Amino acid sequence: MNLTLAHIGARPAAKDEFDALTAVYLGRCSAFAHCKAEAFRTEQALLDWLLRLEGRTPAVAVLLDSRGRQMSSESFAAWLGERRDQGAQQIVFAVGPASGWSEAARLRAQLLLSLGPMTMAHALARLVMAEQLYRAFTILAGHPYHAGH
């Protein structure tokens, strides 16, 4: 399974602390799946890229959206495990543009995921998502990283 943590906007600066921490968690996830980060200038560039990713199975698009579904870490791990067990080849988690996702993008998504009702900086949302991906994999593997409280 290949995971991509994508965002709409400029590539992070070389010394961006959030980006460095995000890379740490994506590196930890690599013990469980191939993980990478991607930046796209526009929403349409991301949607076009998703079309090119199509393989044996369609790419699973998860858009971070404040109007989306909220999940506990355990529920998110179960969701991710189900996608893995169903043979998903590509899962893309994307942080959208500052103005929010268009209706076309929202319709393309298999899941609209909310990290909570508070608004946060996109760099912070990417970091939180990277940590939750790592946490989900450790939950699925029975690793002690997730203490459950």
Query: Tens digit of pLDDT for each residue in 22-40?
Result: 999 999 999 999 999 999 9
For domain 2-37+50-141, the CATH architecture is 3-Layer(aba) Sandwich (3.40)
Q: CB of 88 within 8 A of CB of 60?
A: yes
| pLDDT tens column, 67-115 | 999 999 999 999 999 999 999 999 999 999 988 999 999 999 999 999 9
Domain ranges for the chain:
2-37+50-141
**In angstroms, rounded to a whole number, what is the distance separating the alpha carbons of residues 57 and 89?**
7
Phi, psi of 95 (to 5 degrees): -95, 125
Token pair of 99 as six digits: 């103005």
